[in-house]
Amino acid sequence: MPPDAARWRRFSDVFARTVEDAGYACIIPPMFEDLGVFRRLGEATDVVTKEMYDFEDKGGRHIALRPEQTASVCRAFAQHRPATPWKVWYSGPNFRYEKAQAGRYRQFDQVGIEVLGTDDPDIDVEVIFLGWDFYRRLGLSNITLMVNSLGDTTDRQRYVDALAAHFASRASTLSEEAQRTLEKNPLRVLDSKRDQDKAAVESAPLLKDFLSEDARSHFARVCEGLKELDVPFVVNDRLVRGLDYYRRTTFEYVSTALESAQNAVGGGGRYDGLVEEIGGPATHGIGFALGVDRTLLACDAEGVFPAPDASVDVFIVDVVDGRQARALTHDLRRLGFSADRAFDGRSMKSQMKAADRSGAKVAIIVGEDEASSGPCVVRRLDSSDQVVISRVDLVDYLGSLGLTPSTETA
């Protein structure tokens, strides 16, 4: 609803400016894909097994509403093979059948970027920095950046084996939910917030002790770059993220102004095997998605990034027959002013009320005495001061009140 929708649009505009200045081009992934595209997110993730809106269409195809956009970007890359590094950004709704609550919805918006085709650690730094910088541009100051490295596939496998052995030896102490998760994906047990699982989670082996030399030096260079760019961060060994495709660098932006259950305002990481799994060539990838709804809740909590002012410059009040209002709003809009008017031949009082509601700085009042090209009455709505101005002097007079025509063209 207005004015929140205008705030949402401005959010996306600020994001576009932030990332387009860094060479990212806009991509518009489709709202639905073949189910197979999203299955690659990992059969062990809730997003795939429990939360997908999937259905058979009239042609018998099994399709799903997108739960996120990284998989679609990788599918587009595999299909069109653009030159690398391919840097793109997106914004739009995603669908997950979750338990809806404050900050967690079944339709939610994300803005995000993806870079395909480079494993240079400096691109990790660029990506993480851009998310950080965007939050700063919104005016947010209570954001904590957490980073971690999940290692390469083989490191991860060695770690998962060690974790499985660790949890299996304590299986009888784990919650039933954790025992079920353990069978599917021991990594996810680390996400358990249940008291019963706390001891086993806290004593679990750490991924950083299983990283290969390559993964270790990649991560060291990422941390070095973030320090050089003065981006404060915390290395969090327990950060595993909710999707299975991540390798090496992972990160999350957390708002300390929000309740801890829904305080992850954005996150991302490397997904070096995903394009290949979707049927494309072996390709490195990294990106992030930021939750628009949740980030705006963080903005509310910090009292920053208000909805933009939706008021018009000028409101035309025509108490004759509306013809003057029709011509004058048209002329003013063509000159680049924002202008609105009343309809339905309302009374002067009712039109003046509408003028106040519009937020306009001035009302131009056309009455019986004002001939079509004659002078008009311009009333300042903040003070009720009014002057009679000839039409030729109108633009200059509006200018003297600080109202200047917009130079933007369609």
User: Based on CB atoms, which residue is closest to ligand HAM, 145 or 381?
Assistant: 145
Give every CB contact of residue 81 below 8 A, 6+ residues apart in sequence.
280, 281
Interface of this chain with ligand HAM, residues 270 to 299, rule: CB under 6 A? 271, 287-289, 291, 293-294
Are 365 and 342 in contact by the 8 Å Cβ rule? The answer is no
Interface of this chain with ligand HAM, residues 213 to 272, rule: CB under 6 A? 242-243, 264-269, 271
Closest CA to 206 of 163, 267, 165, 146: 163
- Please, what is the minimum distance in Å from the beta carbon of residue 327 to ligand HAM? 47
- Please, what is the minimum distance in Å from the beta carbon of residue 179 to ligand HAM? 25
The verdict on 111 binding ligand HAM (CB under 6 A) reads no
Q: For tokens 């967690």, name the residue.
A: 104
The verdict on 108 binding ligand HAM (CB under 6 A) reads yes
Tokens of 118: 């480079």
Q: For residue 118, report the phi and psi dihedrals to the nearest 5 degrees.
A: -145, 140
- Please, what is the minimum distance in Å from the beta carbon of residue 376 to ligand HAM? 50
* HSE-CB of 264 using CA atoms within 13 angstroms: 16
Residue 127-166 contact track with ligand HAM, rule CB under 6 A, x = bound: ----------------------------------------
- Please, what is the minimum distance in Å from the beta carbon of residue 236 to ligand HAM? 14
- Please, what is the minimum distance in Å from the beta carbon of residue 228 to ligand HAM? 23
User: Based on CB atoms, which residue is closest to ligand HAM, 70 or 283?
Assistant: 70
Are 55 and 63 in contact by the 8 Å Cβ rule? The answer is yes
Residue of the chain from 39, 66, 96, 188 that contacts ligand HAM (CB under 6 A): 96
Are 332 and 339 in contact by the 8 Å Cβ rule? The answer is yes
Report strand pairing: 247-255 vs 143-149: antiparallel
User: Based on CB atoms, which residue is closest to ligand HAM, 32 or 271?
Assistant: 271
Closest CA to 127 of 277, 252, 255, 275: 252
The verdict on 112 binding ligand HAM (CB under 6 A) reads yes
For ligand HAM, the nearest residue by Cβ is 291
DSSP 309: P
| Residue 254 to residue 295: CA distance in whole angstroms | 10
Q: SS3 of 17, please? A: helix
Q: For residue 282, report the phi and psi dihedrals to the nearest 5 degrees.
A: -60, 120
Residue 38-77 contact track with ligand HAM, rule CB under 6 A, x = bound: ------------------------------x-x-------
Among 32-40, 98-106, 147-155, 173-181, which window interacts with ligand HAM (CB under 6 A)?
98-106
| Residue 141 to residue 120: CA distance in whole angstroms | 29
Binding site for ligand HAM (CB under 6 A): 68, 70, 96, 98, 104-105, 108, 110, 112, 114, 242-243, 264-269, 271, 287-289, 291, 293-294
